[in-house]
Amino acid sequence: MTKRMENKIAFVTGGGSGIGAATAIRLAEEGATVVVCGRREEPLKDVVATIRENGGRADYRVADVSDESAFVGAMDAVAKEFGGLDVLVNNAVAFNWGALAEMSTEDWHANFTTTVDGTFWGTRKAMQLMKENGGAIVNIASICGVFGTAWMSGYSAAKAAVINFSRAAASEGAVDNIRCNVVIPGVVETPATEGMLSHDQAKSNTTKLIPMKRVGHPEELANAVLFLASDEASYITGATLAVDGGRGSDLYTAMD
């Protein structure tokens, strides 16, 4: 490993599984001290144990990203304990799905609290903590935020908001050398997609729409986050990086 994240302090939300866990492990492999945040303690402890067993430095904080005071308080505590914050990965997500015509207002709003409000709270606090020394914020969106997706109207709207919010944050943060970029996953094998991908026919139908003819792996998303968080991306801000096997770039499959 190149240790390109040596001496960096990184905070990863939704860090107990899937893309968040893979990202935390990858950042630690490259030398970062990583703090994973989430609602459930056991998965966070498992990620920290994996990192430490491989010689990395890690800790965890139990906090619900949809709870502003708990989330921001955890970020403040980490910055105080470890001497600052260099990287924030806003990965936590919560959503409801269902037919738009039957969706309640409560269910609609539930799509935004963690995904949009949480990304705002985290980004705002990160910009405050990074003002003196700069830093990198990587927000995780979704291909659903680029293309409309049936049964996922609230989630799609929330992820679209994350993309444009990140562009605005990049514009404001640039003067303080705070970069803000977005990774846009396609279909990735995570606990959230396990139910769908466990059915052979559903998985086959999904992969047919992907030019690379397979779904992604969390580690492939983690590598993209690592790049945008590292100094190798020092002149990149306000960018969106699709990691989707070509799903978003192929006109035929996008319209199929």
pLDDT digits (tens, 9 = 90+) for 41-88: 999 999 999 999 999 999 999 999 999 999 999 999 999 999 999 999
Q: What is the CA radius of gyration of the chain?
A: 18
- The pLDDT of residue 254 is 47
Distance of CA 74 to the CA centre of its chain: 17
For 9-188+217-245, the fitting CATH number among 3.40.50.970, 2.40.240.20, 3.40.50.720, 2.60.120.10 is: 3.40.50.720
- Inter-CA distances, 68 with 128, 155, 236, Å: 15, 20, 29
Alpha helices in 16-144 (DSSP H): 18-29, 41-53, 68-82, 105-112, 118-129
| In the predicted structure, residue 149 carries a pLDDT above the cut 50 | yes
Report, as an integer, the average pLDDT of 104-130: 96
- The pLDDT of residue 1 is 63
| In the predicted structure, residue 122 carries a pLDDT above the cut 70 | yes
| In the predicted structure, residue 238 carries a pLDDT above the cut 90 | yes
Read out DSSP for 221-245?
Answer: HHHHHHHHHSGGGTT--S-EEEEST
pLDDT digits (tens, 9 = 90+) for 171-182: 999 999 999 999
Mean pLDDT of the chain: 91
Percent of the chain with pLDDT over 70: 89
Pick 108 or 246 by higher pLDDT. Answer: 108
Residue 194 pLDDT grade (very low, low, confident, very high; cuts 50, 70, 90)? low
Residue 190 pLDDT grade (very low, low, confident, very high; cuts 50, 70, 90)? low
- pTM listed for this prediction: 0.93
Report, as an integer, the average pLDDT of 206-225: 83
Nearest by Cα to 15 from 75, 79, 69, 95: 75
Report the 10 Å Cβ neighbour count for 4.
Answer: 16
Report, as residue numbers or ranges, the catalytic residues. 155
Domain ranges within the chain, ordered by starting residue: 9-188+217-245
- The pLDDT of residue 27 is 98
